[in-house]
Chain A
């Protein structure tokens, strides 16, 4: 389990390879968020941010068979095409890896204290993000493999 909130860029390939070292891992699913359109500055709440991300990964582990996962989120000044966030999840099978990866991203969008500011002003939160996070809450007991 790795959670990092950092100014610097990351190597998504290296992070994913690091999740494959356990021979019981059969699937690594990942998501990389990229700056689209215009430059931005990302502010966060030091202390709470790391805590919130750890909680989200623990929630994912309680719902799916997650063998390991990595969440890296950048802050500071970012320009178009820069990487913002990486979520990578290792599991025995793809179903758990895909679901947990999507769940972590959806929860991160609504629960991790980051705020984007563009030259035109602060980016407004979108209702569709709340809806995306909300769809996970009605799920019945989740599948535990192994």
Chain B
């Protein structure tokens, strides 16, 4: 299954990319599993997405829990806690 990934703010800078299209391996079916999959790339990915880091996720432009299920064509965004207002 293929998903569109977006990264914002400090996370975008740490990862060095605003986003990508990614073919997910079998078994990566939730937001949490996707985060863990990306962390497996090592380096900046491992640091920025480490378990202790506060990273929020949105699925198709709605805030999403780690347990949210993914399907092909989804837009998934990862970002730090928001600081607007």
Taking the nearest CB of chain B, how far is it from the CB of A64, in angstroms? 20
Contacts of A110 in B (CB 8 A): 81-82
Given A48-B61, A48-B77, A111:B9 Cβ within 8 A: no
A113 touches B85 (CB 8 A): no
Partner of B85 from the list A43, A109, A122 (CB cut-off 8 Å) is: A109
Partner of B84 from the list A116, A122, A124 (CB cut-off 8 Å) is: A116
The answer to whether the Cβ of B45 comes within 8 Å of any Cβ in the partner chain is no
Given A115-B10, A122-B9, A47:B84 Cβ within 8 A: no
The answer to whether the Cβ of B54 comes within 8 Å of any Cβ in the partner chain is yes
Given A48-B61, A48-B77, A51-B62, A112:B84 Cβ within 8 A: yes
Q: Which residues of A contact B (CB under 8 A)?
A: 33, 42-45, 47-48, 51-52, 73, 84-85, 105, 108-117, 121-125
